[in-house]
Structure 1
Amino acid sequence: MPVEEIRAGGHFSNLRLLTTSTCRMRCGYPGEGVMWCHNEGMERNAIPEADLQRMLGIVEYFRDHHGIREVTLAGLQPRLDDGLIAFIERLRANDIKRVSLVTHGLKLIPWIPRLRDAGLSDVVLSMQGFDRHGYADIMGEDAFDNALRVIDHCRDLGLPVTVNRVLLRGYYEDIPDFLTWAVDRKLRVRLYDVLWMPGQDKHFLANHVSWQAIVHLWARMVERITVWTYGLPGRINVVFHLRGGASVETNVNAPKVQHTAPVCRSCALKDACAEGWLGCGIRITADYKITPCVLRPDLATPVVDGTGGYLRPSVLNPYLAGELHGTAGR
């Protein structure tokens, strides 16, 4: 089977914007009352919605100083309003080549045509099960039919769709049917191991299952493999290209013991961390902070000060490399 290996320096082509800290879903361990959702490093429902004009300034700053050309409007759940439509239009007008929306899909369907017309490039849908029972058990709300409608409506309008799914023990038997359905729609599927969070050892150990333990469920569908290695986050992504046009993407979740970022090498959580420094790109929270690690919110730093100025490159660049933390030298 053909295997292509690609090495990349990092995730810095992507800016991940969190416009709000609110979310209706409560993705957690079924029946245990404990959420595994990391809330993107924010305190859930505790931060006001971001001012999109200020967010636009942040994007322009990173475009000019770091060559950013891709923006992900990420969750918890991005706001859906006229302001977001105008924001996407401004991003595309400001030389942002790709704008993605991460969503659980609630209330999304009537907005999809306008999002596409504004310049949205693709939709990433969080869908933690391929049957109503499993979906509701994990996500805390029965919106399974809505998720299916979102995917088909996006496809009808020409918007590519990626499905994000976290694997849990006892909730993966639907994977073969799920992938057969995904192939029919030529979807990109990301299967993630559940992320360990501090204080959740018992729940994590009881519910964790690695994609490597269930790869046999799609092995016969694979026609080729691509392995992406990202140096700075210490992250390896494996993409299984399936016959028929769909794909399954996974992470090799090795602890970041040999991480290249100095802050990770000295971190007390490094043996359990599977994300790595800026593992999902440069994440900007709704209160205008860079949050490089969801396990260590104490390492977040404001990117905008009270006067509207930005973190100086002499401080920002070492910070992004994991060499300098906090706002010293602003």
Structure 2
Amino acid sequence: MSLQPIPLQPLHDNHGRQFSYLRLSITDVCNFRCHYCLPNGYQGDGEPQPLSLAEIDQIVQAFAATGTRKVRITGGEPVLRRDLVEILRQVKRTQGIESVALTTNGYKLLEHIDAWYEVGLDQLNVSIDSLDPRAFQAITGHDRLQQILAGIDRGLQLGLPIKVNAVLLADQPQQLSEFLHWVKRTPVTLRFIELMETGGQPDYFARHHVSGESIKQQLLQQGWQPLTRGPHAGPAQEFAHPDYQGNIGLIMPYSRHFCSSCNRLRISAAGKLHLCLFGEHGHDLRPLMRAEHQLELQQRLRELLQLKAASHDLHQGNTGAIKHFAMIGG
């Protein structure tokens, strides 16, 4: 018996949450050596070739048909895919997708941002953990801060909404003050992300973790006001101040009720659905990423969502199967 089209009903789990946001990794390769992720650089892990353009088309169509409205392209470092422009163009053209975003370390930002904008990129996220060039190079292994900041300036000239991600690190006590000075005159959203424990670096986490709650209290004391969360927004709590052109966001996975507003799912570069960043394993969907299996793929997504847990177990030190964030795009 042939499968029949299912009336559009957003993906939902057994905990009352709906999912309209897909984080799609197109490569697990990264050219940075950030201490908290790939301190020894990308080593390769025997994974198969990343999803092809045709496979990406099929999985994005399936998610769009089941209520996804926002797709974020991630890595590794997605700019290392030579067909990134074609991927962005294809995702943007998918019926039902309203917003296409990209997360990058910014290494090739200035060279490529105009091309991304021309094919319809709606939002850009850039990872910068320090505005001190020496600290930036020490963290990433690359002396590229000024070029990355120039790329951000170009994005702002084009009118792109830009978010800058900075991982909170105990050995960077000046992070808050230097970024506050920057966002006073720079209209970006700066998001501080709590360092999260991974299976590969438990000792690093113990030495460097800083609670985002202390940053939140400092912001509130300085007159920053909470902003209302958008319908397809990620997990950040965002704040605005009348004296600042930019906003501040906090992503605090160790806070209470962090998972209650979860609206995002992840597809790895190898084609596995990850129901949680810190889940035990992924569910292989790659065999279904063909046009003749499109309806079956949609049904499989709905079935797998019923397996999603109510919360991660980070508080118990359970980091799941993830060894580093480049594996499935953070």
| TM-score grouping bracket, smaller chain normalisation | 0.7 to 0.9
Residue 280 (structure 1) shift: 7.2
Does the CA contact (< 8 Å) of 1:21 and 1:44 recur in 2? no
Describe the superposition over 1:115-170 as per-residue Cα deviations: whole angstroms up to 9, x where unpaired: 10100011100111110122122222222112211111111222121001100102
Distance 2:188 2:117 in 1: 18
Distance 1:212 1:35 in 2: 26
Query: Match for residue 237 of structure 2?
Result: 238
Does the CA contact (< 8 Å) of 1:176 and 1:218 recur in 2? no
Find the residue that maps to 1:189 and give its secondary structure: strand
Distance verdict in 2 for CA 1:163–1:293, change over 3 Å:
same
Does the CA contact (< 8 Å) of 1:190 and 1:249 recur in 2? yes
Tell me how large the CA RMSD over aligned residues is.
Answer: 3.3
Distance 1:208 1:136 in 2: 20
Structural mapping, 1:17-32, within 5 Å: 17-29=24-36
Distance 2:308 2:251 in 1: 25
2:176 counterpart of 1:191 = no
Structural mapping, 1:4-153, within 5 Å: 10=17, 12-29=19-36, 35=38, 46-64=47-65, 66-79=66-79, 83-95=83-95, 96-153=97-154
Find the residue that maps to 2:203 and give its secondary structure: helix
Higher relative contact order (CA 8 A, sep 6+): 2
Structure 2 gap segments, 5+ residues each = 1-14, 310-330
Distance 1:320 1:278 in 2: 15
- TM-score, with normalisation over the residues of structure 1? 0.75
Picking from 289, 297, 302, the partner of 2:272 is 289
Distance 1:21 1:43 in 2: 8
Distance verdict in 2 for CA 1:201–1:255, change over 3 Å:
farther
Q: Identify, as 1 or 2, the structure richer in strand.
A: 1
Find the residue that maps to 2:27 and give its secondary structure: coil
Query: Equivalent pairs: percent with the same residue?
Result: 24
Query: Match for residue 214 of structure 2?
Result: 213
Describe the superposition over 1:15-53 as per-residue Cα deviations: whole angstroms up to 9, x where unpaired: 111111110112115xxxx7489x9xx966844232012
Query: Match for residue 303 of structure 1?
Result: 285
Distance 2:207 2:239 in 1: 27
Query: Match for residue 314 of structure 2?
Result: none
Does the CA contact (< 8 Å) of 2:72 and 2:102 recur in 1? yes
Aligned length: 287
Residue 255 (structure 1) shift: 6.8
Distance verdict in 2 for CA 1:237–1:108, change over 3 Å:
closer
Distance 1:278 1:86 in 2: 32
Find the residue that maps to 1:133 and give its secondary structure: helix
Describe the superposition over 1:76-116 as per-residue Cα deviations: whole angstroms up to 9, x where unpaired: 11135663223322222223211111000112212111110
Query: Match for residue 165 of structure 1?
Result: 166
